[in-house]
A and B are shown apart, each in its own frame.
Chain A
Amino acid sequence: MTDFIWLVVALPAAGAVYLHFFGKRAGEPASGWIASVLMSGAFVYALLAAVPFFQGTGHAESVVLWSWMPAIGAEFAIRWDPLSSLMTLVVTGVGTLIHFYAIGYMHGDPRFSRFFTYMNLFATGMLTLVLADNFAMLFLGWEAVGLCSYLLISFWYTKPSAAAAGKKAFIVNRIGDFGFMIALMIILTQFGTLSFDVLEDPHLGLSTGLATAVGLLMLVGAAGKSAQIPLYVWLPDAMEGPTPVSALIHAATMVTAGVYLVARNAAIYEMAPIAATTVATVGALTALWAATIAIAQKDIKAVLAYSTVSQLGYMFIGVGSTAYVAGMFHFMTHAFFKALLFLGAGSVIHAMSDEQNMDKMGGLAKHMPVTAATMGIATLAIAGVPPLAGFWSKDEILGAAFNQGGWMVVLWAIGLVTAGITAFYMTRQFVMVFLGKPRWDEGIHPHESPRTMTVPLMMLAGLTILGGFINTPFRTGLERYLEPSFETVDGAIHMAHPADGSTAWILAGVAVLAGLIGIYLAYRLYAGPEDRRRRVLGRFARPIFAWENAYWVDRFYGKTIVLPGKSVANWAAFKFDLGFIDGIVNGVAGAVKRLGATIRPLQTGFVRNYGVMLAAGSVGLLIWFLSRGGL
């Protein structure tokens, strides 16, 4: 099976190429079906190829497709091991559902087939990223998904805000890529190769200091791609893209590339505990930071965007506290319920004729029962209500962090508070959208979405309910599945595990309690009488004002980074370039012109004059030769 594993990448790639050239002819909805079927083909193949891992008989394999840059250990090769297979399964599986959903969502868009071209291209890039067998190929996929993210965020490029959001995402990601690239260069200079083989035994090439540097630089790259402090600012803006894009790229797959990167480089982070702790700390701060902002957002997608940032922070706590399995587990469950939330939000937006302000919704549960039910499940899942998927993974992360002791207990506390806040703002969203009285604008007639949209919702809801059971404290299936990926030459990489016994029960109970308190408060506040809500919110007016404006981070970045950058660019363009560079160019041209004008009379046009000059030159040469010969 693994011999043809390249098919997983090749199928979406073929779709992208085909739709690029013939998408217009295929038209709607055929091009959407082509893209979706190819994605599901990739999923099915990946599933079959992963069977040995399920049975516990598989082992990591490298499939070399062709020789690319052998000098630096960068073959065009696919690595098929439990970790990459898990990523592949989630990317293709959730991706397939979102593709099908998009057929309904993008209905009537003039650039329908182009949208699916980009979607397939993104899938190609993402699969290259996760299936890469060396850092060069990983970087290739890393940049490819960045490009597709840019293309898809600014898919409706006629909207200035969408175009700006695309650019912002691209530029902010560039900053992260810069750190990532330096990390790769350190690896290349230390090992002389970019192959993942170095991860088998990183002690051979890296001192502890260098390992810390590599780990921190990779964190910069991961923070850019996975929207962590301080580089998270692009993700909320990325909601300008079509909702399936938000679901696929900015919730389920691409943004988790940073988590995958940290997990893949577990061996390096094991050498550098400082870097690992930094990862976890950044994750915890981001989780709390973004969760508070989410409380006060009015845009239905903005809430989900900040929620994504926050949940990614959880994953960073997981991988940073060496609980790699917990991190990957949360990545997986999060892919399920966050994709579901985004697709549900898309369904709502669709029904409300592109209205995204939650103040103008309400009471939609009656009109959109399927959407309401599935989103309700997802809301409970992200709030950490057992036995839904979010509970198991979040609990495992928090348990592992607590079990580490020391500084990690602080991070556990932050995570616990965040869990409560998460439950609060998600319940707030659900109540504002689906319950209460309608606050719609005139002339809006909400309706349930078509089958292509609701079926993926229901399937994701199923995954949200059942997905958590693959790795419960009682039956650690995912851990056994992933374990082979975290083995080095020396033996297994140290992995944090949640506490067991009564501690585990207490921790789980506390986490569930936090979630339930959040749900209760939000429900009481937003489903309750209006005047009480106004009174309570008025008491918290100041923090809410800060949260509504996302702590003015964008304005801060604008003043401290963007503005100086712009003035430097202005100076370079209008002072340096126009004055100095152009001055040199024009000066050279002017000098040549003046010289030409000076010697122009030499060209008399009389052939005999030329003859005299020729003769004079010959005589000069004659004299020269003779004098060299000692005249």
Chain B
Amino acid sequence: MPGRPSDPDSAIVPFSPMAEDVPLFPVRHGLKPPIFRVFVSWSRGSHLQVACVCPRDESLEEKADGDLGDEDVGGKVLEVKLGTSDANINEAKRRWIAYGSVPPFALLQGRRNSLAAMSRISSSSTFIDWWKHVLEYSQSISELLGNTRLQSTAVIEDPKLVLERVGEPTSLKAAWQLIEIFYVDRHSFSGLAESVVDWLAEFDCLLSEKDTTVSSKLVKLQEQLVNLQVIEDDPEYWEGISSALSVGWLEVVVKLLRLHGSYQLNQLDSRETENGLVEAVAVLVSTMPCLHHDFPAGKLGQYYRTKPDFVKAWEKWRGQISKLDCSAFWVQCGHRQTREGLRNLLQIMLGNINNISAAVFHWIELLVPHLLFIRPLTAGFEEFQGLAQKCMQIKFNNTPNGLVRLFIGILGENTEVVLAECSKSFGPWMVTHCLELLTADNNQNKIFLHEERYNLGGISILELHRLVYAQVLASHPLTSQIAPTYLVSCPKQGLGLLEILLCRQPVQHHQIILKNLEICRLYELDGISSCIKKIAGIYHWKHGRKGAGIYWLQEARDEATLNHIAHHLFESIGRTISDESFKQWEGLIELLGPDVGSAGGLGFLHTYRDFKKSLKLVESGRTSDVARQAIEALIQLLKSPSTPQRFWFPLLHDSLKLLNWRERPLLNVSETNLLLNKLQELSMAKLRPDFCSTELQPNVLSSVRLALARNLSRAFLEE
């Protein structure tokens, strides 16, 4: 299940489902203990509705007579939101991310499906460059998570502002980019070092909430800069510069160095050598060679794309540093802090582990100078892993946060831990979407995440997480409509969950019904479509909107219920033939439309209405022609297969006057035989246990039979 890895032994981070304390959350309902009973309901999605009920205490009731207020409260109903997510991202932003990630996700699924179809046709592997599609997807999602970059070049106007960020970095984006670095672009590990260096530049401030980081140290230094008179006397100034240099923030280093007092015009003469040394170091820093796949605009350093060019420049640069380190000018530099501070910077650039180690605070911060100054040609994951483990031993943080634990999980190559950490720290959105990255270029992960497991009910881990995320989306009315996108990408159980989700939607609102029916149509869920229509039909019928009720039942093709409605209508029409309210029913039958018979048993009601109308005219003394019309309607009704059997007898009973017509027999021999056969069928049906008509009274039955016999004999004579 999401949130916990199953095999704690193989994890770098010691997860232990059994030993780990189960998290306990207090439900703040405001009721005085004790609680008599607690009721729960999941309803839709992952929100839990909870009803806490107070005991029925007679003594409390007595007190309550004179003291209303809290004492009168018998219980509270609350909604408890479950699950984890990045606490720094508010609800609105979370929904924005949820909506924004649908198009890239759907596009990637579409591409996968079409590539799968192509590979079936051409039998050649079309997934060779699949990682490129995933990278495109990853970058779309990454953009969605916000843009945060250190902007030290854009702050020339304020010389004392060394660090400025555009946007607030989030752990969610940091985690996403980390996974992208290690899983999507994994085939070209030459870029791993530069990616991690760039990553730290953006997200160093998120490594720890409590402990010092290079970022937090610089923020603190920046606050002090305004108040410092002689900046170079302050050890924190030099510590800040060495920290920034260690992690490769060259712009910050140069900017801080140029705040040195020796740059002030009135000091230049007396501190010429000192200033020369500061500037020399600043130049060396700003010309540091970097192996990078592109040349980032506005960034200090000399960038090389190829290793030979880089190595050549690197050796030259290191030679310059060594030369300066051995220079005689240091003796002439009278300011001790400057001398020591600058030489410390040179040692860092020369890759002295002691100086570097003293300048950084976190093992990831220690990893970066290794990549920059000690082993700039680190290539390959194993080498990187070895370096990281070494750094962890030197600077291990006892309470790593979710982001750092994720980094450790990635280095441990334990996908289960990575997923568990994503789930625990960043929630189901992250897990669902990063699964695409984990399987982009890693066959082992593909097998692990796509394997169908009996313990999960026959689904894969990938599908499991999509189902969990869809449930979270379904919990909120504003996101429930994007849940189907994820459910249909689940081959085994997605449609099953979608069916349950659709069946649990309320039917009061026409728009919601239409939306849900559209989903049913898109995914060919005909059974659920009928179910929704039936629920809507019954709801409207029973709440007095008879027309809407019939409309939805017809749409559902629910013949059984329509037959019951027909019966109810029949009875109402029968009862109210002479009544004004007949018009009401007539309107309802009219509403059913002429093709109603195809949908159920209501077609006969139109004929029945005609029959009743003719019968009414007959009763008011009209001619034989009208009586004949009534007989025709009667024959039509009894011939129609849609006229339910239980209606036959009342029809015959109503027609007694017509059967006994004085002037001439209105029915011919065959018509009379038809009616006699129907009567016979009814008598036989009466014997069956499921026969439910209560109106077949023996005396009426015999009078109908007699009238038919009489009509038959008269018809014989006439013919």
A and B from one complex: no
